[in-house]
Amino acid sequence: MLVVQKYGGTSVGDLDRIRRVARRCLAARAEGHDVVAVVSAMAGETNRLLALTHAIHADPDAREQDVVVATGEQVSVGLLALAIQAAGGSAVSFLGHQVKIVTDSAFARARIQSIEGERIRAALGQGAIAVVAGFQGTDEHGNLTTLGRGGSDTTAVAVAAALGAGACEIYTDVDGVYTADPNVCPAARKLDRIAYEEMLELASVGAKVLQIRSVEFAMKYRVPVRVRSSFSDDPGTLVCAEEDSMESVVVSGIALDRNEAKIALRSVPDVPGVAGRIFTPLAEANVVVDMIVQNVSRGRRQDLTFTVARADLARAAAVVGAAAGALGVRGVDTDGKVAKVSVVGVGMRNHSGVAARMFQVLAAEGINILLISTSEIKISCVIHEKYAELAVRALHTAFGLDRAEPAARGGA
């Protein structure tokens, strides 16, 4: 079987860890697999390189910045190939343009268009482990590009798809995907499996285990992805296509996004074109709007509320303030202290009453709901940030996600 193993920055954070990764690659090889290792830069390296580009230029050109930041992965692939050789194995490193991973020309956030992979296949054919630089590619003109922060995940999944790999393992510093952030909810449980759709929803609301693009890629090309720790033998969590059994679980996880801010426009004229005049300038200012709620009209006026990323609040408020003035809106209120809690599960498609249950649970804790939005497999409530952790824990318990308490005492 062909196995793609991706190792993140902490897994290759120092030479001892790189040696450990080399042993893991060799163990898979010894089991008879063809092994492709996709590697990130050593922990902290990409940040250090980015800082250098900002230190030398206030507004660094994206093409040149990519040339600099991609070197992190060049170092780690070379070191891993050497570590494998030092342990008696055979390995060849490949940079993005050598693979070759062709992307568009959107520097710093390039998208993969195609992967050739002949050189990887040739190396595997000779019994070597192929060590591939994550995060980088080349555009049609031969310019070096990078895929955005966390992009090595996407490299790994795309390489697995292109080579028809039997498995794609993402080694990271957590041992899998959890029902909630264990730092917020001590009763959180590691999931054995999770559907692509659920992972996308959890990722987009703040569970940052995998780069979102990599999950989209995996879903599109049906690549099963296993998230696991490079520091243990735990099988981790399989991110895969939805299975019938998954629907019996109504809620698979609770996500929390603290990076939210709310803007409310009071008494907006209820005439065609108003929403466009508010949201167009926001889009032009590159403000991403998340939830939008518009009330029923009261005497030709209505309230309009939406959320944006907290870092964008001041900019968004300024843009909206200008538009609101021109439209005769009565007032603009902002609130930077809100959080979004979401319950996610493919089982919601076939079970009713999930929203009602969520609202009851929040009410029982005395938590006021400021905004609600739903999708087929997710219900989100915006609440005051000071209740965020309480809400996650209460929902986690109410939807039966709490881990069974380990035996209080007794030997193993």
Whole-number Cα distances in Å, 277 to 49, 173, 268: 40, 45, 11
Pick 48 or 298: Cβ nearer ligand ASP: 48
Pick 71 or 267: Cβ nearer ligand ASP: 71
137 binds, among Mg ion, ligand ASP, none (CB under 5 to 8 A by kind): none
Under rule CB under 6 A, residue 96 binds ligand ASP: no
CA 356-357-360 angle, to 5 degrees, is 85
Pick 150 or 347: Cβ nearer ligand ASP: 150
351 binds, among Mg ion, ligand ASP, none (CB under 5 to 8 A by kind): none
Minimum distance, C-beta of residue 151 to ligand ASP, in the bound complex (Å)? 5
CA 16 to chain centre: 28
134 binds, among ligand ASP, Mg ion, none (CB under 5 to 8 A by kind): ligand ASP
Quick one: which of 2, 4, 7, 8 contacts Mg ion (CB under 5 A)?
A: 8
Residue 72: strand, helix, or coil: helix
347 binds, among Mg ion, ligand ASP, none (CB under 5 to 8 A by kind): none
Using the contact rule CB under 6 A, the part of the chain among 147-155, 181-189, 268-276, 344-352 near ligand ASP is 147-155
Which residues, 22 to 61, sit near ligand ASP by CB under 6 A?
40-41, 46
Quick one: which of 13, 89, 96, 134 contacts ligand ASP (CB under 6 A)?
A: 134
Bond preceding residue 100 cis, omega within 30 of 0: yes
Task: Retrieve residue 293's tokens.
Answer: 């709620």
CA–CA gap between residue 49 and residue 65 (Å, rounded): 9
Residue in 229, 127, 232 with CA at minimum distance from that of residue 175: 229
Pick 138 or 152: Cβ nearer Mg ion: 152
**Quick check: 342 and 371 in contact, CB under 8 A?**
no
Residue 342: strand, helix, or coil: strand
Under rule CB under 5 A, residue 176 binds Mg ion: no
Minimum distance, C-beta of residue 9 to ligand ASP, in the bound complex (Å)? 5
Rg (CA), the chain: 24
Pick 75 or 355: Cβ nearer ligand ASP: 75
CA–CA gap between residue 189 and residue 181 (Å, rounded): 9
Quick one: which of 11, 65, 93, 152 contacts ligand ASP (CB under 6 A)?
A: 152
**Quick check: 41 and 95 in contact, CB under 8 A?**
no
**Quick check: 159 and 165 in contact, CB under 8 A?**
yes
Minimum distance, C-beta of residue 150 to Mg ion, in the bound complex (Å)? 4
**Quick check: 223 and 327 in contact, CB under 8 A?**
no
CA end-to-end distance (rounded Å), the chain: 36
Using the contact rule CB under 5 A, the part of the chain among 2-10, 121-129, 341-349, 398-406 near Mg ion is 2-10
What is the x/- site pattern for ligand ASP, positions 69-88, by CB under 6 A?
---x----------------
Minimum distance, C-beta of residue 172 to ligand ASP, in the bound complex (Å)? 10
Pick 8 or 253: Cβ nearer ligand ASP: 8
96 binds, among ligand ASP, Mg ion, none (CB under 5 to 8 A by kind): none
Contacts of 104 (CB under 8 A, 6+ apart): 110, 111, 113, 139, 145
Pick 177 or 282: Cβ nearer Mg ion: 177
Got the DSSP string for 134-183? SSEEE-TTS-EEE--TTTHHHHHHHHHHHHT-SEEEEEESSSS-BSS-TT
CA–CA gap between residue 388 and residue 101 (Å, rounded): 41
Residue 240: strand, helix, or coil: strand
Under rule CB under 6 A, residue 308 binds ligand ASP: no
Which residues, 132 to 151, sit near Mg ion by CB under 5 A?
150
Number of residues that bind ligand ASP (CB under 6 A): 13
145 binds, among Mg ion, ligand ASP, none (CB under 5 to 8 A by kind): none
Task: Retrieve residue 349's tokens.
Answer: 């498609």
Under rule CB under 6 A, residue 12 binds ligand ASP: no
Under rule CB under 6 A, residue 135 binds ligand ASP: yes
Minimum distance, C-beta of residue 136 to Mg ion, in the bound complex (Å)? 15
Interacting residue ranges for Mg ion, rule: CB under 5 A: 8, 150
Interacting residue ranges for ligand ASP, rule: CB under 6 A: 8-9, 40-41, 46, 72, 134-135, 149-153
